[in-house]
Amino acid sequence: MTYPETPTTTPPDAVATATASASVASASASSPSSPGPRRTSSKVVSTLAICAGAVLILGTVVTGGVSILRAASVHTGEVTASVAGVRTLDLDASAAQVTVSFGAVSEATLRVSGGSGADDWTLGRNGDRLVVASDRDIWARWGWLREPETVELVLPASAAGLDADLDLDSGSLRAEGDFGDLAVTLDAGSLRVTGTASDLTSEINAGSARFDLDGVVDARFAISAGSVDGALTGPTPSSIVVDVSAGRLDLAVPEGAYALTSDVSAGGFRHDLTVDPTSPHRVDVTVSAGSVVLRPAD
């Protein structure tokens, strides 16, 4: 007797399990074995490091090249002029480091280092005036490939006592020696004058100035901005006039009694002077803003 065969049926749970296993295996096979984002980050860091190094190298090369070009553009020159009959020095300087002195020379000697050397400066006579000035505008003097100009003016010792008119637009000016009437204008930068003078007139529009002078009879300070320090020594001056619209003045003056007048609308005025309204030595102070300090010289 023959029995019909019963077909073998796979349980549904087994089919689902097998399908899931196959899917997992397929997904595992298609997935990369190493993380991509880490490789990308490493490449970015490496690229940035290379770029930074290249920038540093380029900066070093450019800096070195500029230094070489600036050194190659430096010129030194010297010019002279007679001082026979000269009564006044007229100096107009800007964007340079200038010194004025008296020494063992037979003629006024101007030495210039930097820029185009003495070609950019004038040393000459205008009647009884010795004129020193730069022929180049301020923007050309401050060219980024140029070294700062160093200017030295040496006057014969026999010219001591001449009047001087010193005008500084920017840079620095140092003057040392014996002068007669001394007029100074400072528009910017720094200025220092030491030695002697019979009369001092100063106009300070900006910057800083210092005066250490002996023997001044009349002194006038007009300060629009900036600062002035210094000391007047020797005999008691006949007059000291101070007008400060802004800025600061701190000045030591010879001991003695002064007839003092002051007009302070803003700012401050302080002094340690001996005051005598009958004194022939006068001090007049006007302060619109800023501060003024007057004290006896040590």
Which tens digit of pLDDT belongs to each residue from 209-253?
999 999 999 999 999 999 999 999 999 999 999 999 999 999 999
- Encoded tokens for 173: 């000016």
pLDDT at 39: 56
212 and 278 in a common domain: yes
Query: pLDDT band at residue 126, thresholds of 50, 70 and 90?
Result: very high
How many distinct structural domains can be found in the chain? Answer: 2
Residue 151's pLDDT band (cuts 50, 70, 90) = very high
Tell me, yes or no, whether 23 lies in a domain.
no
**Residue 158 and residue 178 in contact, taking contact as beta carbons nearer than 8 Å:** no
* Dihedral-angle region of residue 68 (phi above 0 means left; psi in -120 to 50 means alpha; beta otherwise): alpha
- Same domain? For 164 and 151 the reply is yes
pLDDT in tens, 41-55: 666 666 766 766 666
CA angle 104–108–112, rounded 5-degree value: 100
Q: Read off the pLDDT band of 120 (50, 70, 90).
A: confident
In this predicted model, which residue has the larger pLDDT, 148 or 170? Answer: 170
Domain limits for position 61: 45-74
Residue 251: inside a domain, yes or no? Answer: yes
Q: Which DSSP letter does residue 35 get?
A: -
User: Residue 259's domain is classified under what CATH number?
Assistant: 2.160.20
> Is the Cβ–Cβ distance between 166 and 185 less than 8 Å?
yes
- Looking at the structure, tell me whether residues 51 and 91 fall in a common domain: no
| CA–CA gap between residue 193 and residue 172 (Å, rounded) | 11
> For residue 88, is it within any domain?
yes
